[in-house]
Copies of this chain bind each other. A is one copy, B any other.
Amino acid sequence: MAATNEDTIATRICRILAERIVTGELEPGTKLRQDHIAEEFGTSHVPVREAFRRLEAQGLAVSEPRRGVRVATFSLEAVREVAEMRAALEVLALRHAAPHLTPSILDQAEEATVEADRARDVRSWEEANRRFHRLLLTPCGMPRLLAAIDDLHAVSARFLFATWRSDWEVRPDHDHRAILAFLRQGRTENAAAVLERHVQRIGQKPAKNASGGAFAIVG
Contacts and interface: CB of A to CB of B under 8 A. Distances in A.
A134 B7 CA distance: 39
A85 B81 contact: no
Contacts of A54: 53, 57
B148 A65 contact: no
Contacts of A142: 81, 84
Contact of A82 (B59, B82, B144): B144
Interface stretch (A23-31, A88-96, A98-106, A156-164): A88-96
Given A81-B142, A144-B78, A57 B57 contact: yes
A144 B81 contact: yes
Interface residues of A, number: 29
Interface string A54-84: 1001110000011000000000001001101
B88 A84 contact: no
A133 interface: no
A50 interface: yes
Interface in A22-50: 46, 49-50
Nearest to A141: B77
B78 A85 contact: no
Contacts of A144: 59, 78, 81-82, 85
B88 A91 contact: yes
A58 B58 CA distance: 10
B57 A53 contact: yes
A166 interface: no
A92 B88 contact: yes
30 contacts: A8-B66, A10-B53, A11-B65, A46-B46, A46-B49, A49-B50, A50-B50, A53-B53, A53-B54, A53-B57, A54-B57, A57-B57, A57-B58, A59-B144, A78-B144, A81-B143, A81-B145, A82-B144, A84-B96, A84-B145, A85-B89, A85-B92, A85-B144, A85-B145, A85-B148, A88-B88, A88-B89, A88-B91, A88-B92, A148-B148
What are the 4 A-B residue pairs with the smallest beta carbon separation, nearest first? A57-B57, A53-B53, A88-B88, A7-B65
